[in-house]
Amino acid sequence: MFTIQSEDNIFEDFKRRSTKITKLDKLPKLDNLYLLFLSEFEGLQISSSIFIFGYEKALNENRYLEKNYPECSEQFWVIGAAGQGDEWFINKSNYLIYYYDHDLGEYENSAFDCLNISFLQFLQLAYLYKELEDYQDNHYDLNSETQLQFINAVNMLHKNLFDIYPFESF
């Protein structure tokens, strides 16, 4: 239970684009795995709090960001939504994943929360949360042992990631 997916099989359930994007010149230099995702797969929701934009949606969201929040756009690239107006970003220089809570108001670079994980780890995290959600759908109560197994799996991706993650799990 609560298995971290390998890089080799992380894209197994993703729907491929009908036409692969071969020219990524409209994109800044970003994490290679993220660029692979954009070029070959459609956007998708993995867990209730992690929806990853496909190529077209990512371009549109980032054009809006660049036009309205140029300082933010210099540092961050929007990669997805967390629901309720919150968003996921990748930092353009260190390629780490960040979260922005829309309740904080207008974008300010200092208000972004870093999860200290790569795009691959973000996908792995999303699948752990999906596995937890599926488990909770079939079990009324999570016992403390199951909760600890989940926490340990998440923290295998990065120390204290469970505590850093912006949403409560149980």
Res. 140: pLDDT tops 80: no
Token pair listed for 23: 């020219």
CB proximity list for 96: less than 8 A, separation 6 or greater: 90, 114, 115, 116, 117, 118
Residue spans per domain, the chain: 12-163
Average pLDDT over residues 14-39: 96
Only one residue has tokens 């239970």, namely 1
Whole-number Å distance between alpha carbons of 126 and 119 = 10
Say if CB 54 and CB 28 are below 8 A apart.
no
Beta-sheet strand order (sheet of 76-83): 44-47, 50-52, 76-83, 86-91, 97-100, 113-114
* Higher pLDDT among residues 147 and 83, named by residue: 147
At residue 1, the pLDDT reads 87
Fold of 12-163: SMI1/KNR4-like (3.40.1580)
Amino acid at 55: Y
